[in-house]
Amino acid sequence: MSNQKNDLAQTGRPVLDVRNLAVSLAGNPSAKVVSDVSFTVHPGETVCVVGESGSGKSVTAFSIMGLLSREALHCSGGRIELDGENVLEADKERLRALRATRMAMIFQEPMTALNPVETVGEQIDEVLRIHKRMGRKARREKVMEMLEAVHLPEPERIYSSYPHQLSGGQRQRVVICIALILEPRLLIADEPTTALDVTTQKQILLLIRELQEKHNTAVLFITHDFGVVADIADRVVVMNRGEVVEVGTREQILSAPDKDYTRMLVSSVPSLVPEAREAHDGDIVLSVKGLGKVYAQKRFLGARREVAAAVDVDLTVRRGEILGVVGESGSGKSTVARCIVRLQDPTQGEVVVCGENIAAARGSALLSVRKRIQMVFQDPFRSLNPRLTVGESIIEGLTNFGVARAQALRRAGELMGLVGLPADALKRYPHQFSGGQRQRICIARALALEPDVLVADEAVSALDVSVQAQVLELLDDIRRKTGVGVLFITHDLRVAAQICDTIMVMQKGKIVEFGPAADVLTSPKQPYTRLLLEAAPGRHWDFQNFRPLPL
């Protein structure tokens, strides 16, 4: 937004005024989760609260709504004024009356934010029933109006649909309906687009902006994504470890941040423009030809329903090369990865690893393939067995293939060094490590068998940007040292730009575009690739150099 608008926003009385907020663990007032947090949000203004996981940004948001879980956390100090009224002193009744009417919230996970056993219409209607005295017919009309206002197609059908019958973007629109139907003064959005595809994200951000302008709503937007900040923020609050690091206008924060932490955060946003990379001309380690996967659902007394998750996929990975597969959810990228690793059986085509077709390998043949191709999964919190020490997890593959225990442990020790963890990490359990460290462990586990091909499925998506950068560097380093070929699945074009030599764009199970990373990301030939790039948030900003990008 323009500076003029910012000035305008600053002068009036703020809708939300948070002063010296402190949140502590319940029963231990000195254990502060959030302390001394102050900021304001004015009518029509969008304030972004940015920070990495554990920064206290969500806790702050929930404090405003009075939605902290009582057993775990409580507000131990400061004030939260909503139009001059301190909500920390409001009793339960008052707080309930304020919710949805004066302040409302939308959440990160549209998949779980709605009650699965009630129709969408009933759930929006509930807001009206709680807060308004309106007849059934008037309520229904109002809900229909709102469904149209968030641009949902066929409001009548959506009204009587259950959440599971809608897509993620549609569900988020429904959540927005619930939040905004009573035209609250303040909208709190807690990472509302993090779980969505980029193109859907763009639409939802536009929708929030549209409704905000219509009703002059104050928006408090919680996010970890500086791309989104660059696109929507008027002002930015940077948080770290429960404290405010810096508050400023979007321009100040993005182009001339005061604090080192802010500089670090902003500059670790990867660029959308890849560095020039040399073409690889080593041996082909993985070659996939005409790969197809059809999911068939058998039905009693009915036709078989078939879904083609991957159609005619061709790709090659050379020694030391990183091939990125990008696409939105449902594009088939994970299916391709799973078929290549043979966690799923492809229904068509060849998967050739070092000259051997493994597409139909069974039994012992398949077993020997496992040694050559390994996978790193998306969620480092769930992909390690919590009851096994890290060492046991890492050597399991080696001992399965007959390596003596002592020798396997020695190898595990070396691997710890390779992924930058201390050797004593082997004796500890997964829960004793952070997300980034766990992903390093997963990479070490995958490398234990010295595979020729590593398949990484959204391997850094669950990590904070600064940690993401470190893990990506590690992967880059490992492929240089070991020559392993990497198939890197991601939905994030910035991540792809950072690490991939070549990029393959997938849509609806098919390859749309394929080429060197620099070509695909800077001069895309296909409309779909262009669409993806245009939807990438913050693409007009050069984060590393703190300046706008020339268009």
Partner 1 sequence: MFSYVIKRAVATLPVMAMVAVVVFAMLRLTPGDPAAILAGDDASGAQLEAIRRSMGLDQPIMVQLYVWMKQLAQGDLGVSLLSGTPVLEMIGGRIGPTLSLAVLTILLTIVVAIPMGVVAARNPGGLLDRTVMTFSVLGFSIPTFVIGYLLIYAMALKLGWFPVQGYSSVDKGLWPFFQRLVLPTLALSGIYIALVARMTRSSVIDVMGEDFIRTARAKGAKETSVLLRHALRNAAVPIVTVIGIGVASLITGVVVTESVFNLPGLGRLVVEAVLARDYPVIQGLILLFSFTYVLINLAVDILYTVFDPRIRY
Question: What's 54-86 look like in SS3?
Answer: CCCHHHHHHHHHCCCCCCCEEEEEEEEEECCEE
C-alpha angle 7/22/187, rounded to 5°?
Answer: 45
Q: Residue 67 Cβ, how far from partner 1 at the closest point, in Å?
A: 6
Tokens encoding 59: 């806790």
Stretch that binds partner 1, among 115-123, 132-140, 265-273, 284-292 (CB under 8 A): 115-123
Strand order in the sheet with 348-353: 305-318, 284-297, 348-353, 356-357
The one among 65, 80, 82, 484 contacting partner 1 by CB under 8 A: 65
The one among 100, 189, 266, 395 contacting partner 1 by CB under 8 A: 100
Residue 98 interacting with partner 1 (CB under 8 A): yes
Residue 144 interacting with partner 1 (CB under 8 A): no
Residue 97 interacting with partner 1 (CB under 8 A): yes
Q: Residue 134 Cβ, how far from partner 1 at the closest point, in Å?
A: 15
With a CB cutoff of 8 Å and minimum separation 6, the contacts of 58 are 190, 191, 222
If the CB atoms of residues 171 and 445 are measured against partner 1, the closer one turns out to be 171
Q: Residue 56 Cβ, how far from partner 1 at the closest point, in Å?
A: 18
> Which residues, 311 to 350, sit near partner 1 by CB under 8 A?
none
Residue 117 interacting with partner 1 (CB under 8 A): yes
Site mask for partner 1 (CB under 8 A), range 249-288, x = bound:
----------------------------------------
Spatial separation of the C-alpha atoms in residues 56 and 237, rounded to whole Å = 12
> Which residues, 147 to 186, sit near partner 1 by CB under 8 A?
162, 164, 175, 178-179
Spatial separation of the C-alpha atoms in residues 237 and 222, rounded to whole Å = 9
The one among 109, 183, 251, 379 contacting partner 1 by CB under 8 A: 109
User: Helix, strand, or coil here: 31?
Assistant: strand
The one among 49, 105, 244, 253 contacting partner 1 by CB under 8 A: 105
Residue type at 508 in one-letter notation: K
Q: Residue 213 Cβ, how far from partner 1 at the closest point, in Å?
A: 23
Give how far Cα 331 sits from Cα of 201, 390, 402, 486, 514, Å: 16, 33, 39, 20, 15
Q: Residue 493 Cβ, how far from partner 1 at the closest point, in Å?
A: 28
Residue 104 interacting with partner 1 (CB under 8 A): yes
> Which is it for strands 305-318 and 284-297: parallel, antiparallel or unpaired?
antiparallel
Which among 335, 269, 154, 303 has a CA at the least distance from the CA of 540?
269
Q: Of how many residues is the chain composed?
A: 551
Which among 36, 28, 495 has a CA at the least distance from the CA of 271?
495
Q: Residue 335 Cβ, how far from partner 1 at the closest point, in Å?
A: 23
The one among 96, 215, 259, 428 contacting partner 1 by CB under 8 A: 96
Which among 435, 436, 437, 439 has a CA at the least distance from the CA of 425?
437
The one among 20, 112, 432, 523 contacting partner 1 by CB under 8 A: 112
Rounded to the nearest 10 degrees, the angle between the axes of helix 435-447 and helix 405-418 is 130
The number of angstroms, rounded, from the C-alpha of 255 to the middle of its chain's C-alpha atoms is 25
Residue type at 190 in one-letter notation: D
Residue 195 interacting with partner 1 (CB under 8 A): no
Q: Residue 113 Cβ, how far from partner 1 at the closest point, in Å?
A: 5
If the CB atoms of residues 62 and 261 are measured against partner 1, the closer one turns out to be 62
Residue 101 interacting with partner 1 (CB under 8 A): yes
Task: Report yes or no: 47 and 6 within 8 Å, Cβ to Cβ.
Answer: no
Q: Residue 419 Cβ, how far from partner 1 at the closest point, in Å?
A: 34
The one among 131, 263, 372, 428 contacting partner 1 by CB under 8 A: 131
Spatial separation of the C-alpha atoms in residues 46 and 235, rounded to whole Å = 7
Task: Report yes or no: 506 and 226 within 8 Å, Cβ to Cβ.
Answer: no
If the CB atoms of residues 133 and 402 are measured against partner 1, the closer one turns out to be 133
Task: Report yes or no: 546 and 256 within 8 Å, Cβ to Cβ.
Answer: yes
The one among 1, 8, 26, 67 contacting partner 1 by CB under 8 A: 67
The one among 50, 114, 204, 425 contacting partner 1 by CB under 8 A: 114
Stretch that binds partner 1, among 81-89, 100-108, 280-288, 495-503 (CB under 8 A): 100-108
Residue 130 interacting with partner 1 (CB under 8 A): yes
Q: Applying CB under 8 A, what is the total number of residues that bind partner 1?
A: 30
With a CB cutoff of 8 Å and minimum separation 6, the contacts of 305 are 296, 297, 299
| Residues of the shown chain interacting with partner 1 in the complex, contacts defined by CB under 8 A | 65, 67, 96-101, 104-105, 107, 109, 112-118, 126-127, 130-131, 162, 164, 175, 178-179, 300-301
